[in-house]
A and B are shown apart, each in its own frame.
Chain A
């Protein structure tokens, strides 16, 4: 194999590949990226056995062929090369080396045979549809903060992507929860998605997917089977196994009868929560909300370190209420609001609270209160 690629193009392709590779690896080949050159393209393929990324880039292919080389080393080298350099990759299979040349720099890297590289079995995708990148970005960006890290409830370690009845008819929906908070985000139903089986997209896949979605107006091709999900742009294909488990019935968790409504400027609210929480260094800091007519008092009382209080003007017309929350959770859901006021709907101090942005029902958050 002998190819030449522009440094910028190469860096983008290799960066995506190396981020999939696990840092600590017991199987040497999994630390490598598979480079295949044919026609006028080169593809870079990396996997951790759960996720596979295939990245295609235009190249001058002098001699077709394939090899594998350490993904992190190749990435580091390309990153450090000067911008605009033309990089040539030459594989010498007899010597088991890959030569990387650019200008006066010359590197020789150890390779492993391409036959040893595990290629993810292809599968039949029952549903194929496409979603504009910004919509997909919103679905995952607004839900991922609620993904659980608790391994005993492994089925919560991802975002549940499925089709559901939304506020305005059938919708593509993403839900994540860790038992303390929940995010439910809807997007209009893409053509061809109506029969999609619900899948739990693992946390790492959500992170990798995010890197695909930078380009604003691109259409992302989504394919879903019972065991796998695939997201593809013309250049990059991300294939991932989904979490083999049943996502709990979240619908009964979302309170329907919460009537005590508070409306507040989300950014003012988040800043105030952040300020009062400063006095406590505990891991689960509780913020107390005291609601009275059009007035909210936020307070933190940490016997060992101090106390803080702040008053905010809000729209609230119901009877007095005192309720506590984990400061971090409140901050996280408040920061999801980007356009309008945050609307909180409370029931009692022991019941889950609902939060949404203005009257937009396509993004709903639930947070569990804390005893204070």
Chain B
């Protein structure tokens, strides 16, 4: 069976250890050198960056997250052994792991590290689709002659370079489509290299639960379970038309995924579907002034990002989380796509005023979706709000000032609440 040593990148035929360097870190698969779609996922990315930048953290449990109140954003593997997980409330993480070193996220450092990884990936293929700072799909089809080595070898080399040059480890999933590549990268974390070939796709999926599918969360799981669908083999029993009739477009996707089929391409610039920002407060609040300040800042962040990308959105969403973590969302479709912070804020504020819930809340967020190009944005005014045009012009003028003198050069009083 085609095999590859992940340490010295020697290719050989079936052996428990590398015949060249003797390492046991061998990956073997009948289709190893034929598969081209990969998913790379860094291991405990934020924590690894911190450990690399500060060697004294080596061997210590490290948790990245905001304040006592926030949630764990990343836990290093030492902390994970103690039971700390991502998205766990910080107080709970500290109970499990009182000696953990808590570090506030340093996004700039992570963005830099992510860029460095991206540069290494660019050497492999131009077809890269980043999903976040620390994971990306790569399509290495047709690169074998260019590199003089099959994708598997290049990927192993990428991981090796990430470790030696950047001090970061990652896991690779290699398969024949995006769905399976992503599933594979998660199989042997950390520092894994997993392969799902065309020949073993059906056997691999058969008894796996459907929650393996990206995008099938608890709600979708519950509705599938009502239909008696828990595993992929349950899905295989359904006719395509029945799945579509019951679950809509998701049904069609499920039918194909159940057969290990996923036609989505690795696309460099996946079109953005929504822009949103949210913030968890230092302490729960139902103070209308404080909430209003948060709402404005979130609207402004969303608008800034929309402006930077030249986008506008037709749907404004407001999200609130209550003390018990239950969340509440409200949305409104606009007649004209909006880009201005003023519009996003006013719509979200209108939604907020109609929530009819006392709070207190722990989180507030707002977002824009149903995106389109910005040249259609805010095209028609509101008869009942004749000042909107002036406020829009004021906002554009303020943006010009910020571009020149920095982001904090001018701001609304509301932003200080």
* Chain A residues close to B by CB (< 8 Å): 150-153, 177, 179-182, 248, 250, 252-253, 282-284, 286, 326, 350, 352, 366, 368-372
Contacts and interface: CB of A to CB of B under 8 A. Distances in A.
Contact of A253 (B379, B384, B389): B384
A350 B384 contact: no
Contact of A152 (B336, B350, B376, B379): B350
Interface string B313-349: 0100000000000000000100110000000000100
Interface in B382-398: 382-386, 389
5 contacts: A153-B350, A177-B383, A179-B384, A252-B386, A350-B381
A179 B332 contact: no
A213 to B, nearest CB: 28
Nearest to B353: A152
A284 B332 contact: no
A153 B347 CA distance: 10
B54 interface: no
A284 B101 CA distance: 54
B243 interface: no
A180 B380 CA distance: 8
A180 B389 CA distance: 14
B175 to A, nearest CB: 36
Contact of B379 (A179, A352, A371): A371
Contacts of A370: 336, 379-380
B382 A368 contact: yes
B387 to A, nearest CB: 12
A180 B383 contact: yes
A284 B370 CA distance: 14
A250 B314 CA distance: 26
Interface of B: 314, 332, 335-336, 347, 350-351, 354, 376, 379-386, 389
If over half of B's interface residues share one DSSP class (helix, strand or loop), that class is named, otherwise mixed; here it is mixed
A253 B383 contact: yes
A150 B376 CA distance: 20
Contacts of A352: 383
A141 to B, nearest CB: 21
A250 B347 CA distance: 21
Contacts of A248: 384
Given A152-B350, A152-B354, A350 B383 contact: no
B379 A350 contact: no
B383 A286 contact: no
Given A152-B332, A152-B350, A152-B354, A284 B379 contact: yes
A284 B381 contact: no
Contact of B332 (A150, A177, A250): A150
A152 B379 CA distance: 20
A350 B382 contact: no
Give the top 9 A-B pairs by smallest Cβ distance, nearest first: A152-B350, A370-B380, A371-B379, A179-B382, A253-B383, A370-B379, A179-B384, A248-B384, A368-B381
